[in-house]
Structure 1
Amino acid sequence: MDFSSLVQELGTPANLVVNSEAELAEEVEREARERIGPKRGASYLYRKPVYPIDSSLFSGIVSSPAEVLRELGLATTFVTASPFADIARHWAHVRYCATLASNQKRILALTKSGSDVVHHHKMAQSEQLGIGLALVVAKRILERKYPGWLFSSVDVDVALHAGFIDGVGPVRQKNKTTMRPDYFLVGQRAGGGTSGCKVYALECKGTHGSAYHARQQLATASLQVGSIELGSRTLPSLIVASRLSTAGISINVFDPPGDDDLWTGEYGQFDELISEDPGPQQWTSGRPTFEQFMARRRELSGIEGEPDEEELRSSQAGYEANVDDLPVVFRIPEDGKEWLFRTLARNAAHSILRFAGDNSSASRFATTRASEHERLPIDGLTPDWQDFTVSSESRIRSHKFIGIEYSMPLPNGASLEIFRGVEKGVYESLREGKISSYLRRANRLRDSWQAVSDGANGNRIAHHAISVGNDGTGLRVRVVRRSTN
């Protein structure tokens, strides 16, 4: 294998083919309606309606395999309280490094070697790459929709579990229809005297299959993103489905409705709120009440106004007949908005510091419950790894990054080096717990990251692949040839 060519492909920009057509949204709605029946139960009666997105928000998106892998590595941190966590993050970067490339039309596509895998490996590959691709597209859409906001991914199950919500349990228990979205996308803004936080639910899908299979996935996603409610309303959400092909990756994205303002306040409140552990809550999951079931059905059907007696009787009968098939819903009360903001903002900071390899600083943002439960069942572990901090400083273009580096020997004395880390100023703000300072610095540096990722107007460095996100996280893969003298 020519590793230099591989690395060059990782850093080569390519166009993403993204669609959000009204006709496809109607097909997804029809697919969801058809799934309601004796074999499927009534769970799809509780889904969210699917709407297309304005094309100005997703047209002309350019990415690279390196960006997809950086987003995947940041999002899929798996077990955090473990001496093997850093290797798990490293694995997320290298496992799929030969699966994506720019084709002759400069469209991001699956490589031949990425396509030539057996069925069960294809399932894992499509799920993982689907996450990375969805995060690239969803963040780009939201940061275009909300200029000046920074969006970070937080694993839904990790956040709900760390936030002391009981009943999270395993995902996708068919007998209980326990289905949740994959990630929260946490939008934060700090500056200009006021601060704010938004949250979106994101469901990521990926397939090597047909357009029909992609529609099925989107129909399922419309149910998953509706399983978390804040007050009496659902969160705004995005559902993203990627079809992987050597001819080019196609991505469909839709925008189920919801309310997006989570918290707004004075600038000085931001750090104070996030610095404090939000504390335990006793909220539990459960099936929808009749009132919630009826409200969701009316939303799906587009019915407005007050229901008459006939509609009430019909809905009550439908609810009683199908209640056991309805999904488990996680409800956060209206007065829990500030709690959710603090929980998600702390999780986002925790993930970025872990990405840099600084377990010690990251631990200040972890809840006690997360520390106790997110560990591997290994007895007699030494505590050294828990206090591990960053071990490497490197320069990506003109910026210093703090992080961790791995090296793998290659033939002829060369080595493959993978560095992941966080821009030094951004890292120092997070390490000190100054989230507002981190957001302001990331916002100031936002424009410079595009030149870094695109190779400064195409003048890319040979044998290097680089991706830097708006959040200040960076990934560099390079082939280093050692001198024989």
Structure 2
Amino acid sequence: MRKDAKDILKDLAKPWNVQVHSTAALAGSVADAAARDDEQRREEDREPLRRKPGLAGISGSGCGTSIRLTPWELLHALGRAVVLARQGAGRGLAEHWSSLKYCQALTGGDGHYMALSPEGLNPRRHYKTVQSSELGIGFAVALAERMLRKRYPQHSVSVIDADIALQAGWALVGKDVKRRDWIRLRPDFLLEAWKPGEPSKIIPVACRGTHAKTSYVYTQLAGASAQVEAFHVGPWNQTPSLVVSTELLGQGGITMHALYAEGSSALTPAPGEPEADADQPLHDLNIYPEVRLPAAEGEEEPRDGGFQVRPEHYAWFRRAVVRAGVAGLMAFSGGGDLTAQYLTKRQGSDHFEGFVHAGTGIVQDATAVIRGTTFLGTDHVFRLNGTRVEVAEGLFRLLAKGACGGVPP
């Protein structure tokens, strides 16, 4: 029997447990998979990958053996994470489709654990490779946000597309880049934990998903460890990092396999450097894509490909992160030109300034009042049989004016 909108919304709000596997044994299996991949690369006369040292099971204020999530939280995390991916000129629905198509793909299995629903298992509805990749993003981002909120209480946690943030400082596309395979290795997302009066903490995240057997998870996490190793704030190997591979087991449930490397990546301005002012325009820089590695005493630092944010760029990078986060919020809630004002040309502002269909234009006339708060958006914000998702009016109006200083993305 086909469900109506109310039934679908009720199902989306039901909480389920999702298994989390994060142990020393997992770290060992991933290290073995990385060693096998490196050996194969040597046999093929290819350079072994640089991988993140110190990846281990999540400890301390982590997440335990499971977390409790609603499908709505998961799809919201996925939608916010990929909204700037520029999936099509249709905007609106195109920017939200990655999450919308999974509205009925998740349900609860035995033992109150989340699993794929019959629709989610239907190969005619969901191409497995795409499904595992996209749901892998949603689960990884949801886990990362949950973990960071526990580690940094009273902080705002934001998700930023790593490509968008990095594009402002490093050229990621072009004929010169194509000749450097290592430049393609980068995190999928950057998470920012921020509290007023304190520097931002930046955590790179690489996420994968699979319908295959568990041994393939180890290979995925070994590859993800090379992605997060490509990004550093400050000195080499001081940046905390998270890698996640989500195993979609069909009727067997869903398991997130995760490893974390401890560290500190606060964007503390160097003495004499100004604090980040997110209201100031962001200009593209041309930082050479390299990472400075530790050197033996008396020797010059070796340098390898990657992205390293050095102290002289902390304030600039914090501004890039904030504005990319705000651009994502505006794209998620309503419109081209309002999104474009927070992006540089290299970050893709042209995409959001281009032609917009009249039915998805930025007419700020869609309102709703929820628990005394007025929410505002546009007709292109996604609907489920007439039910919309909007943004709080005060925040929307402020960001529409181009002011984001002091406002967490």
Q: What TM-score do the two structures reach when normalised by structure 1?
A: 0.72
Distance 1:387 1:88, change over 3 A: closer
In the alignment, does 2:14 pair up with 1:12?
yes
Q: CA RMSD in A?
A: 3.5
The residue aligned with 1:62 is: 68
The residue aligned with 1:332 is: 309
Unpaired segments ≥5 residues, structure 1: 296-305, 410-414, 440-470, 472-485
Contact 1:127 1:205 (8 Å CA) reproduced: yes
Deviation sequence 1:82-108 (CA, Å, 0-9, x none): 752212133233211121112242211
How far apart are 1:38 and its partner, in Å? 4.2
In the alignment, does 2:152 pair up with 1:150?
no
In the alignment, does 2:48 pair up with 1:43?
yes
Range with bigger deviation, 120-129 or 86-95: 86-95
Distance 1:283 1:307 in 2: 27
2:268 partner SS? strand
In the alignment, does 2:169 pair up with 1:205?
no
Deviation sequence 1:137-178 (CA, Å, 0-9, x none): 1001001100111111111112222x14224459x9798243
The residue aligned with 1:21 is: 23
How far apart are 1:21 and its partner, in Å? 0.8
The residue aligned with 1:243 is: 247
Q: Which of 158, 176, 181 is equivalent to 1:176? A: 181
Distance 2:104 2:60 in 1: 31
Distance 2:203 2:352 in 1: 28
Contact 1:29 1:50 (8 Å CA) reproduced: no
The residue aligned with 2:400 is: 431
In the alignment, does 2:242 pair up with 1:218?
no
Contact 2:86 2:95 (8 Å CA) reproduced: no
Distance 1:355 1:10 in 2: 19
In the alignment, does 2:141 pair up with 1:139?
no
The residue aligned with 2:386 is: 417
Structure having the higher helix fraction is 1
Letter paired with 1:12: K
1:357-368 correspondence runs (5 A): 357-368=334-345
How far apart are 1:407 and its partner, in Å? 9.9
1:402 partner SS? strand
Q: Which of 117, 122, 127 is equivalent to 2:128? A: 122
Distance 1:142 1:35, change over 3 A: same
1:92 partner SS? helix
Contact 1:18 1:253 (8 Å CA) reproduced: yes
The residue aligned with 2:377 is: 403
Distance 1:83 1:123 in 2: 24
Unpaired segments ≥5 residues, structure 2: none
The residue aligned with 2:283 is: 279
Q: Which of 287, 308, 320 is equivalent to 1:343? A: 320
How far apart are 1:80 and its partner, in Å? 5.2
Distance 2:126 2:180 in 1: 24
In the alignment, does 2:106 pair up with 1:100?
yes
Range with bigger deviation, 57-66 or 341-350: 57-66
How far apart are 1:433 and its partner, in Å? 4.9
Contact 1:11 1:64 (8 Å CA) reproduced: yes
Distance 1:83 1:174, change over 3 A: closer
Distance 1:423 1:106, change over 3 A: farther
Greater relative contact order, per chain length (Cα 8 Å cut-off, separation 6+): 1
1:230-379 correspondence runs (5 A): 230-234=233-237, 235-245=239-249, 246-263=251-268, 273-286=277-290, 292=293, 328-371=305-348, 374=351
Distance 1:263 1:408 in 2: 38
Contact 2:92 2:381 (8 Å CA) reproduced: no
2:38 partner SS? coil
1:84-95 correspondence runs (5 A): 84-95=90-101
Distance 2:317 2:382 in 1: 41
In the alignment, does 2:235 pair up with 1:229?
no
Question: Aligned pairs, how many?
Answer: 395
Letter paired with 2:366: S
Letter paired with 1:356: S
The residue aligned with 1:480 is: none
Deviation sequence 1:299-328 (CA, Å, 0-9, x none): xxxxxxx679xxx9xxx9xx9xxx9xxx84
1:242 partner SS? strand
Distance 1:244 1:82 in 2: 28
The residue aligned with 1:450 is: none
Distance 2:179 2:219 in 1: 16
Contact 1:361 1:389 (8 Å CA) reproduced: no
Deviation sequence 1:103-127 (CA, Å, 0-9, x none): 2422111112212317991000000
